Amino acid sequence: MNCNIAVIKGDGIGPEVVSEAMKVLDAVGVKYGHTFNYEQLLMGGCSIDVHGVPLTDEAVARAKAADAVLLGSIGGNTSTSPWYKLPPEKRPEAGLLKIRKELGLFANLRPAFLYNELKGACPLKEEIADKGFDMMIMRELTGGLYFGARETKELDGVLTAVDTLTYNENEIRRIAIKGFDIAMKRRKKVTSVDKANVLDSSRLWRKIVEEVAKDYPEVTYEHMLVDNCAMQLVKDPAQFDVVLTENMFGDILSDEASMITGSIGMLASASLNETKFGMYEPSGGSAPDIAGQNKANPIATILSAAMMLRYTFDMDKEADAIEAAVQQVLVENYRTCDIVSEGTELVSCSQMGDLIAARV
């Protein structure tokens, strides 16, 4: 297969970790007979330095023309970088918001997986960590409270702020369909999370999820209130497969789920639109404190590339091969600085990429 990938390395550790992901993709290409064509685009601080804006319209058009986008991370040190003296719409993060909007990326996927070898970093009790967990938090990304009308005004001399939480049935249906589709590629269970005991938007959410579920008889599904889900994530995370939820609940629950895995350098993510198109990136930021030192953990980006193979290109066995290679280097006790512990071997970012590529 011939795959056209827009590559946005970005700032900080972005170029280092994305180069390792490309190395691993190329190893997949050789083994399975695919060609990955890369077009490199600028976004974030590096684009500000060259073009004066964090993302040009031309870069957006080129990203749209690709099959998928592989992104590193953008931004610099928010206290010292000159990029943060610019007005908000000119700062690096404005590029990220613009590309998400332009590409219509409404579904955000964040896997939370506990590697046996990294259980020591899990902050949960040993008997809970011992059971392990492997879930996908699926968050609606372009609707709900963060996109509704808001204002702050004085009412009878009292300052009053209003935020609006709106969802229509189409927005709910398209994310629910994605959620059930993804469950079909996993353990076929969906937990839909809402606050239907209080919110109208959640009651509509529940109704539409039930309608969509009828088209997926192989998938078991349940509804869970968000407050209960927050508790269950730390009490019994092994029960979850796909956790399907709206924007704000997903924002909070996905951070909680990442926290219990114990390492930001291991966490992949994907944002999808209605087609197979997606943007794939590590969950962490540009880590300016370690940038340029060949120290960053490239695994989150490498696993994001595996998600790209699985969800955009339908290459399940190739994605499995990358995930197995990552598991293998951990079993062999290789670690980057963020996950190193006694009895394991410290390797650099590029060495980690070499090790994984060699095991694909």
Min dist. Cβ of residue 250 to ligand NAD (A)? 16
* The one catalytic residue among 26, 134, 181, 251: 251
Residue from 70, 190, 287, 321 in contact with ligand NAD (CB under 6 A): 287
Catalytic residue among 146, 185, 189, 354: 146
**For strand 278-282 and strand 268-272, is the pairing parallel, antiparallel, or unpaired?**
antiparallel
Residue 312 in contact with ligand NAD, rule: CB under 6 A: no
Q: Which is nearer to ligand NAD, 13 or 28 (CB)?
A: 13
Active-site residue, 314 included? no
Tell me which residue has tokens 């927005």.
Answer: 171
Beta strands 158-163 and 150-155: pairing type? antiparallel
Provide the minimum distance between the beta carbon of 266 and ligand NAD in the complex, in angstroms, as a whole number: 8
Our measurement of the distance from residue 337's CA atom to the centroid of its chain's CA atoms, rounded to an integer in Å, reads 22
Of the listed 200, 255, 314, 316, which one is catalytic?
Answer: 255
**Residue 212 · residue 178 · CB < 8 Å:** no
Whichever of 172 and 302 has its CB closer to ligand NAD, that residue is 302
Beta strand 35-40 with 2-10 is: parallel
Is 181 annotated as catalytic?
Answer: no
- Which positions from 116 to 135 touch ligand NAD by CB under 6 A, shown as an x/- string? --------------------
- For ligand NAD, give the closer residue by CB, 205 or 334: 334
- Binding-site string for ligand NAD from residue 69 to residue 98, where x marks contact by CB under 6 A and - marks none: ----xxxx-x--------------x--x--
CA dist 233 and 242 (Å) reads 12
> How distant, in Å, are the alpha carbons of 7, 13, 78, 265 from that of 75?
16, 10, 8, 17
Tell me whether residue 146 is one of the annotated catalytic residues.
yes
> Considering the rule CB under 6 A, would residue 338 count as an interface residue with ligand NAD?
yes
Residues 6+ apart with CB under 8 A from 341: 120, 335
Look-up: residue for tokens 């610099």? 76
The answer to whether residue 251 is catalytic is yes
Clarify whether 200 is annotated catalytic. no
Residues 12 to 71 in contact with ligand NAD, rule: CB under 6 A: 13, 17
Number of Cα atoms under 13 Å in the Cβ half of residue 39: 16
Residues contacting ligand NAD: total by CB under 6 A: 23
Is residue 61 packed enough to be buried (19+ CB in 10 Å), middle (13-18) or exposed (0-12)?
A: exposed
List the Cα angle 180/164/112 in 5-degree steps.
Answer: 35
Give the residue numbers marked as catalytic.
146, 195, 227, 251, 255
Give contact residues for ligand NAD (rule: CB under 6 A): 13, 17, 73-76, 78, 93, 96, 264-265, 281, 284-290, 296-297, 300, 338
